[in-house]
Amino acid sequence: MELYADLFLLVNFFCDLTVLWVCARLLCRRVKRRRLLLGAGIGALYTLLWMLLYPAPLPLFLLSVLCSLLMVLAVFGFHSRKSFFKSLCFFYLTCLLMGGVVSGINNAIGRILPPLYALLTLSLCLGIGSLFCLTVGRGFEKMGKKKSGELTFVKEGTAYRVRGLFDSGNLLLDPLSLFPVILIDPALFDRPPPCDRTIPIKTAAGQRCLEAFLPEDARVDGIPRQICIALCPPPNGSFGGFLALLPPS
């Protein structure tokens, strides 16, 4: 059986790209395109090294573990051990599910179709499976939307931690930095922090401006975020029982 390395690398690149994209959908995470391409490139490089090392079992196993770690790190980054472990588990689960289905279809159609038609049929099945996983991922996203999240930020060397309510209606942006705006009850602070900007908002009572600032570091549920924080006394004493109003997750 003849094996063309360039075609083999190309097919595996797109397969890895599909797996990583589906994994990101299941995790309900927005991933930059260049990160997906980098992860798929690492997966394609793995297939080349696999051909060079085959059939040595131990080096191949260590290579598989190393490449999977690098792929997940390249696509999802490392924010915390818990977040990275969750990404890794979802990646392995996606590989097992999609790899098992694709291998079964390939073995079934490979007996009755020529290799070229088998490859085309396999690609079609992979595309259909991706659309199915996209639909499932949207279902996970709707079910997995959280009501609240933990905001931690640093201002002038002082660390703050507060629980906030995710609000789909909070679409405010800082006009200067274009960062999403988080509204915080000033009661959180012992003394008002220094502010260097204002955020214009429009409410049922009219227009007004909120004092705001950029924190030195900010994280929502442990994930770094570029945000602007505006001081806003809640109209009813709290934001649905919380001291902060977060933008949509």
| Neighbour count for residue 61 (Cβ, 10 Å) | 10
Instruction: Considering only residues 133 and 85, tell me which one the structure prediction assigns the higher pLDDT.
Output: 85
| Amino acid at position 195, single letter | C
* 108 touches 120 (CB < 8 A): no
Identify the top-confidence range among 75-84, 93-102, 116-125. 75-84
Does the structure show a pLDDT above 90 at 80? no
As a whole number of Å, the end-to-end CA separation of the chain is 50
Q: Residue 142 burial (CB < 10 Å; 0-12/13-18/19+)?
A: exposed
pLDDT one-digit tens code per residue, 63-72: 888 988 999 9
CA 47 to chain centre: 25
Phi, psi of 109 (to 5 degrees): -85, -20
Predicted confidence (pLDDT) at residue 95 exceeds the cutoff of 50: yes
What is the C-alpha separation between 23 and 74, in angstroms, rounded? 13
Pairing of strands 223-224, 206-213: unpaired
